[in-house]
């Protein structure tokens, strides 16, 4: 294998792996490890951490915007981004350790602030790095692999949701693997980007085009509050096998979306995810009415929606972020989708849950 080919191959794999590990941490650590420990060991309720969740989001927004502004202002070679990923991974481990050691309501709420900031910075660095180091022709495939692994591992962790400390250790181990991987390949310095990213358009136009994706994310997170907590005859996840099936189908559909990403484009895939989400909502509602057991259909359609839109999320900024300020475009896009739409969906789902 020639040096340039090996360099591109390593860049794609390492950027995909770090994207997988940190996004797995992002979607599981607070929900399963911290919240699980808070309720099981500290006797807290979810409402007791609302202030901490607000700090997580606010500091996440700040971290994302600062990272985007700094990268565009100073520029960043892929090698520098990889070194930053290693440092940020260590900082994330420190934040996680502090949060898991917090022994009171106030300590735990405050611990979410630095974690949010580090996560905000990390997400922008990871996405920018991923877009630089993956070739446009194969980006969808690597995005599918990363997205599929995120939700496969997240569902594996859901099987041990009763052991929040185990989940915390698993998440920390995944993030620590970034440090080992980057250290192992430290002599490999990719000085040039693998591909150009961005288009000749402004941030306002980008955000205007991304609203359908943000809407799908909002509705998905709202629905998941109900699907994951449904009990009795209407329960969807009744045993570990249900979570494993959920993880398997997420992986399958994410890989399929990655394979067709270049041909279909992100708008068509977002539309597919939206329709799958509507059908999921409909059959879940039927199950809750007690008409028929449709858990398998809920799992398959929900996996289709999430697997597809996550591939879009990992890839879309390569086509939509402004070429004049690509990192800031990624930051603003993630503020809209990751720090506003997703928490708003959780809040909406929780409010609706409390209304019944």
Walk me through the domains of the chain, giving residue ranges and CATH numbers. Answer: 3-354 (1.20.1250.20)
Q: Cα-flanking dihedrals φ and ψ of residue 169, to 5°?
A: -65, -40
Alpha-carbon distances, residue 5 vs 11, 129, 133, 225 (angstroms)? 10, 18, 12, 44
**What's residue 108's pLDDT?**
95
Percentage of the chain modeled with pLDDT above 70: 94
Query: pLDDT per residue over 107-148, tens digit each?
Result: 999 999 999 999 999 999 999 999 999 988 899 999 999 999
How buried is 19 (Cβ within 10 angstroms: 0-12 exposed, 13-18 middle, 19+ buried)?
buried
Q: Is the pLDDT of residue 2 over 70?
A: no
Mean pLDDT of the chain: 90
Please, how many CA atoms are within 13 Å of residue 34, restricted to the half-sphere of its CB? 32
Query: pLDDT per residue over 257-272, tens digit each?
Result: 999 999 999 999 999 9
Check if the beta carbon of residue 158 is closer than 8 Å to that of residue 243.
yes
Q: State the pLDDT confidence band at 350, using cuts at 50, 70 and 90.
A: confident
Percentage of the chain modeled with pLDDT above 90: 72
Q: Is the pLDDT of residue 352 over 90?
A: no
Q: State the pLDDT confidence band at 6, using cuts at 50, 70 and 90.
A: very low
Lookup result for tokens 């997170």: 221
| Mean pLDDT, rounded, for 348-355 | 78
pTM greater than the 0.85 cutoff: yes
Which residues have CB under 8 Å from 173's CB, separation 6+?
A: none
What angle in degrees, to the nearest 10, is found between the helix axes of 139-158 and 164-184?
A: 150
**What's residue 59's pLDDT?**
98
Check if the beta carbon of residue 123 is closer than 8 Å to that of residue 334.
yes
**What's residue 254's pLDDT?**
98
**Nearest CA to 143 among 256, 6, 263, 264?**
256
**Nearest CA to 257 among 111, 97, 148?**
148
Task: Identify the bridge partners of residue 322 per DSSP, sorted by sequence position.
Answer: 199
Query: pLDDT per residue over 34-49, tens digit each?
Result: 999 999 898 998 889 9
Alpha-carbon distances, residue 99 vs 46, 51, 109, 306, 324 (angstroms)? 16, 14, 9, 28, 38
Q: Is the pLDDT of residue 284 over 50?
A: yes
Q: In this predicted model, which residue has the larger pLDDT, 231 or 44? A: 44
Check if the beta carbon of residue 349 is closer than 8 Å to that of residue 225.
yes
Q: Which of 12-16, 274-278, 305-309 has the lowest mean pLDDT?
A: 12-16
Q: What angle do CA 157, 162, 168 make, to 5 degrees?
A: 50
Check if the beta carbon of residue 79 is closer than 8 Å to that of residue 187.
no
Query: pLDDT per residue over 158-171, tens digit each?
Result: 888 779 999 999 99
Q: Is the pLDDT of residue 97 over 60?
A: yes
Q: Cα-flanking dihedrals φ and ψ of residue 278, to 5°?
A: -65, -45
Q: State the pLDDT confidence band at 1, using cuts at 50, 70 and 90.
A: very low
**What's residue 355's pLDDT?**
58
Q: Is the pLDDT of residue 22 over 60?
A: yes
Q: Which of 27-36, 170-179, 193-202 has the lowest mean pLDDT?
A: 193-202
**What's residue 282's pLDDT?**
94
Check if the beta carbon of residue 116 is closer than 8 Å to that of residue 60.
yes
Query: pLDDT per residue over 68-96, tens digit each?
Result: 999 999 887 888 899 999 999 999 999 99
Alpha-carbon distances, residue 298 vs 57, 275, 283 (angstroms)? 29, 13, 7
Q: State the pLDDT confidence band at 195, using cuts at 50, 70 and 90.
A: low
């Amino acid at each position: 294998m020639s040096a340039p080919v090996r360099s591109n191959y390593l860049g794609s794999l390492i950027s995909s792996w770090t994207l997988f590990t940190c996004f797995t941490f992002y979607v599981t650590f607070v929900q399963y490890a911290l919240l699980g420990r808070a309720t099981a060991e500290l006797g807290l309720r979810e409402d007791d951490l609302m202030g901490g969740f607000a700090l997580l989001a606010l500091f996440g927004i700040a971290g994302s915007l600062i990272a985007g502004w700094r990268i565009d202002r100073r520029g960043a070679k892929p090698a520098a981004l990889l070194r930053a990923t290693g440092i940020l991974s260590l900082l994330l481990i420190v934040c996680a350790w502090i949060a898991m050691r917090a022994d009171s309501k106030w300590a735990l709420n405050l611990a979410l602030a630095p974690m949010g900031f580090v996560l905000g910075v990390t997400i922008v660095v990871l996405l920018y790095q991923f877009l630089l180091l993956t070739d446009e022709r194969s980006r969808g495939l690597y995005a599918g692999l990363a997205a599929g692994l995120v939700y496969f591992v997240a569902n594996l962790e859901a099987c041990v949701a009763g052991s929040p400390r185990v989940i915390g250790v698993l998440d920390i181990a995944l993030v620590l693997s970034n440090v080992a991987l980057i250290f192992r390949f430290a002599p490999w310095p990719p000085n040039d980007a693998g591909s150009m990213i961005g288009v000749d358009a402004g941030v306002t136009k980008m955000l205007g085009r991304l609203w359908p994706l943000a809407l799908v994310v909002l509705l998905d997170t709202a629905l998941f509050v109900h699907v994951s907590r449904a009990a009795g005859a209407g329960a969807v996840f009744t045993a570990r096998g249900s979570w494993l099936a959920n993880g398997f189908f997420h992986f399958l559909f994410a890989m399929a979306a990655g394979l067709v990403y270049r041909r279909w484009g992100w708008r068509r895939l977002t539309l597919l995810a939206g329709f799958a989400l509507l059908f999921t909502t409909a059959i879940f509602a039927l199950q809750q009415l007690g008409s028929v057991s449709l858990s398998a259909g809920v799992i398959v359609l929900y996996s289709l929606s999430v697997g597809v839109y996550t591939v879009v999320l990992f890839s879309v900024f390569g086509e939509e972020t402004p070429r004049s300020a690509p990192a800031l475009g990624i930051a603003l896009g993630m503020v809209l989708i990751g720090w506003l739409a997703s928490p708003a969906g959780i809040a909406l789902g929780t409010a609706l849950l409390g209304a019944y």
